[in-house]
Amino acid sequence: MTRKQRRLTLIGGSLAVLAIAAALVLNALRDSILFFSTPTMATEKQIQPGQRFRLGGMVREGSLVRGEQLKVKFEVTDGNAILPVTYQGILPDLFREGQGIISEGALDAQGVFKADTVLAKHDENYMPKAVAEELKKTGHWKDDYDKKPQKAPGVQGSVSEGIRK
């Protein structure tokens, strides 16, 4: 083999190894990706039972039912569709009816979302972007969701502003 042929063989082999490594990484990531859906999107997409996804929306007023051994049933809505959810575990402190949540899990054969993780918004101004967009589309968006918190009278800036000075 000439020097040029050896160099081309080395480059070709390197590219093949790189392509195989990239394919393996993408295949591994595909299994861990969870798509976000609202109740309307979940019913429109005809999501198959057992397929994991993230469900986002508002906890429907009057739907929260607490059972034995930390079992909880509630309904998540985006204003158009309602999806029943079951969860077993400790709910976040900020979880309540009328609250925006994100939960991870899968649908069962009866169309009930079996959540294994429930996340509640962390303050009164946080709303996941996709949930906010869906609420705006359905007309359930409140104008005060966009407002920034007001500073208390006599308070100069924030703690982080004071640290930077």
Q: Are 59 and 99 in contact (CB under 8 A)?
A: yes
For β-strands 52-59 and 36-37, DSSP reports them as: parallel
Give the C-alpha separation, 164 to 19, whole Å: 47
Instruction: Please name the helix (run of DSSP H) or strand (run of DSSP E) that holds residue 73, with its range, or none.
Output: strand 71-77
Cα Rg of the chain, angstroms:
24
Q: Are 112 and 86 in contact (CB under 8 A)?
A: yes
Is 140 annotated as belonging to a binding site? no
Give the C-alpha separation, 55 to 101, whole Å: 8
Q: Are 79 and 135 in contact (CB under 8 A)?
A: yes
Give the C-alpha separation, 93 to 97, whole Å: 12
Annotated binding site for heme: 122, 126
